[in-house]
Copies of this chain bind each other. A is one copy, B any other.
Amino acid sequence: MPPKKGELALIAQIRQQFATSPTALIAKGIGDDCAILRPPTGTEILVTTDFTLEDRHFRRDLHPARVVGHRCLARGLSDLAAMGATPLAAFLSLALPKDLPSAWTRQFLQGLQSLAQASKVTLAGGDTAQSPTHHILADIVLLGTAPTGTSLRRSGAKPGDRIYVTGQLGAAAAQLRTLLAGGKVRTHHLPQPRLAIGRKLRTKATACIDLSDGLSTDLTHLCEASKVRAELDLASLPIHPTATQNDALHGGEDYELLFTSSARIPKSIATPIGRILKPQKNHPSITADGIPLPPQGWEHFKQ
């Protein structure tokens, strides 16, 4: 389907804002049937895609466009961080309602661009369309690289490994609760994907996942992939000052890294919060202070 007038303007805006010259890594960015990437030799390619859909992942009345743009890219970058990857290129598919004020689009792209610049990732292509409804629809694709064979996975945790988490937990959930209750927030939470730590962990972590769905849910994924159990020590959880223990255990969108290691990890990098145990039949994947902790990953906008 050929672009409509509004879509042509959007494409022009994106091209202008994200204009790049060919580099050693990106031989062709926006402007052909495909982008052409030339990853460094000896690397493997990491790929992740993440939707950002209005009224599912954000609400226009609660989240400023700049914050939505930042988070849209952060979701994909955090997946790269969890694999220990270096960002290579981003692709954005964006469908906008006909009546969307152009200021929204501008601020969304600005939010996305400033995180892209800080993370040294280039927007190398994507797709645009007019949204079939009044909803803003985005899908972000991230490609990254890591030396072949060094990418971190969810599946390598071993009994005896310590469980670690970066940063503090629960801030995003606590803030969203405030917003949903009609409260104001001084500064919107802008998650910072842990790319530098992820790269450091390539040789240190046995398994890694990013905290997008909440600790209880994401640790369950890690345990299932690694075929192990986990015991959490609740007193050691690095809970954000604004958050409750419940936010820290089940709140989503923290975008911190949850990983396991047999090595001692410095406190400056991450906090130890528990141990990996041998699997046992009919035992829950996770216990916290000895009590079963089912995955209760938390949902934004229940329908």
Binding site for B on A (CB under 8 A): 1-4, 27-28, 31-39, 41, 44-51, 53-57, 79-80, 82-83, 85, 89, 91, 93, 95, 98, 124-127, 129-133, 135, 137, 139, 141-144, 148, 151, 153-155, 208-210, 212-214, 217, 225, 252-253, 295, 297-300, 303
Query: Contacting A127 at CB < 8 Å: which of B2, B51, B153?
Result: B51
Query: Across the interface, do A214 and B2 meet the contact criterion of CB distance under 8 Å?
Result: yes
Of all chain B residues, which has the CB nearest A153? Answer: B32
- Closest Cβ–Cβ distance, residue A11 to chain B (whole Å): 12
Of all chain B residues, which has the CB nearest A45? Answer: B37
Query: Across the interface, do B129 and A47 meet the contact criterion of CB distance under 8 Å?
Result: no
**Residue from A55, A129, A137, A209 with most neighbouring chain B CB atoms (10 Å):** A137
Query: Across the interface, do B125 and A33 meet the contact criterion of CB distance under 8 Å?
Result: no
Given contacts A1-B213, A130-B303, A133-B133, 8 further A-B contacts (CB under 8 A): A2-B214, A28-B153, A31-B154, A45-B143, A53-B132, A55-B132, A57-B129, A141-B141
Of all chain B residues, which has the CB nearest A216? Answer: B2
Query: Across the interface, do B48 and A125 meet the contact criterion of CB distance under 8 Å?
Result: yes
- Closest Cβ–Cβ distance, residue A214 to chain B (whole Å): 6
Q: What 4 pairs across the A-B complex have the smallest Cβ distances? A: A2-B297, A34-B46, A2-B213, A55-B132
- Closest Cβ–Cβ distance, residue A161 to chain B (whole Å): 18
By a CB distance below 8 angstroms, the chain B residues around A93 are: 49-51, 93, 139
Query: Across the interface, do B1 and A124 meet the contact criterion of CB distance under 8 Å?
Result: no
By a CB distance below 8 angstroms, the chain B residues around A27 are: 44, 151
Query: Across the interface, do B127 and A34 meet the contact criterion of CB distance under 8 Å?
Result: no
Query: Across the interface, do B79 and A33 meet the contact criterion of CB distance under 8 Å?
Result: yes
Query: Across the interface, do A129 and B44 meet the contact criterion of CB distance under 8 Å?
Result: no
